[in-house]
Amino acid sequence: MSEIKKALYTAALNILRPLIRILLRNHIPFGAFADLAKRVYVDVALEEFGIPGRKPSISRVSIITGLTRKEVSLIKKPPSLENGEELERYNRGARVISGWIRDRAFWNKEGQPSELPIEGKETSFNELVRRYGGDVPSRAVLDELLRVGAVERLPDGRVRLIARAFIPHAQEADKIRILGTDVRDLISTIDHNLQSHPSDSFLQRKVSYDNLPAEALSEIRIQAVQKGQSLLEELDRLMSQKDRDINPSSKGTGRKRATIGIFYFEDDAQPPDKEKKNEGV
């Protein structure tokens, strides 16, 4: 077996372990996962590994996927399980929060997001949604932000921002949808970097230490949240200036999507002697 295949098998095992943990916790059996994997193999083979100028054939898909011709012929294009409406709702909610944080028109005297009245011409929640929420009723955006715990209604009717990012707290399904989009984007970044020249590679960086005392983690987590949020807000201001939905005067061609993400993770590190033993497993 080549070194590349060994590395790919190891990478696949590392990716699948946390995914399978989530699937089992939510009672998704192996058969359902295997069926999804087959469908995606066929879909990717048809869309991305065809021969230029030729119509994709069942025989070619069978050869490159290892599936039988019968299996390929029975597998149609994978059904779209993504709820476009829910993903758009997520995007709109994130943009409204972002605009609330960076737009001085919605700040108080201390330079923080103001507690906004629902109605008004300049500094109301309705105006915030009009600028950053797109063509959607402000009530729908408010309901969504209340649902995920990003805002709260005050006794006088105003709305207060209590989260500086759109992070669903109420529904596990919302968090799982983020799993699908964020992990996809990270793996796609790595795939791009595997195929591109170093000068054209995408940002892919991390810092990692494996002999930290447990008492140090609290400070590290706090710093990661504070500095990570600050960096993302700075980058958000830059990207929003270029996004034509928010800034119609932004010039340029095409329509591109760009994502920048930061994450923190911790677990118990294995002692070096145990790591060496596990290498032979």
> What are the pLDDT digits (tens) for 36-87?
899 999 999 988 888 888 888 889 999 999 999 988 888 865 555 555 555 5
Mean pLDDT to the nearest integer, 139-154: 89
pLDDT-derived band at 169 (thresholds 50, 70, 90) equals low
Mean pLDDT to the nearest integer, 96-109: 90
pLDDT-derived band at 246 (thresholds 50, 70, 90) equals confident
**Amino acid 270: pLDDT:** 77
In the predicted structure, residue 224 carries a pLDDT above the cut 70: yes
Is residue 207 within 8 A of residue 262, CB to CB? The reply is no
Distance between CA atoms of 108 and 103, rounded to whole angstroms?
Answer: 11
pLDDT-derived band at 276 (thresholds 50, 70, 90) equals very low
In the predicted structure, residue 280 carries a pLDDT above the cut 60: no
Distance between CA atoms of 113 and 44, rounded to whole angstroms?
Answer: 44
Kindly list the domain boundaries of the chain, sorted by start residue. 1-81, 84-161, 216-249+257-281
Q: What is the pTM of this model?
A: 0.65
**Amino acid 41: pLDDT:** 92
| Single-letter amino acid, residue 153 | R
Distance of CA 105 to the CA centre of its chain: 29
* Percent above pLDDT 70 for the chain: 89
Distance between CA atoms of 142 and 76, rounded to whole angstroms?
Answer: 39
- How would you classify residue 252: left for phi > 0, otherwise alpha for psi between -120 and 50, otherwise beta? left
* Listed residue (146, 86, 90, 158) closest to 119, CA to CA: 158
CATH class (in words) of the domain with range 84-161: mainly alpha
Average pLDDT, the chain: 86
Mean pLDDT to the nearest integer, 189-215: 93
Secondary structure (DSSP) of 114-156: --B-SS-SSSSHHHHHHHHS-SS-HHHHHHHHHHTTSEEE-TT
Distance between CA atoms of 124 and 159, rounded to whole angstroms?
Answer: 9
Mean pLDDT to the nearest integer, 151-169: 86
Distance between CA atoms of 87 and 177, rounded to whole angstroms?
Answer: 8
Mean pLDDT to the nearest integer, 244-254: 89
**Amino acid 278: pLDDT:** 47
Other C-beta atoms lying within 10 Å of the C-beta of residue 104 = 6
**Amino acid 248: pLDDT:** 87
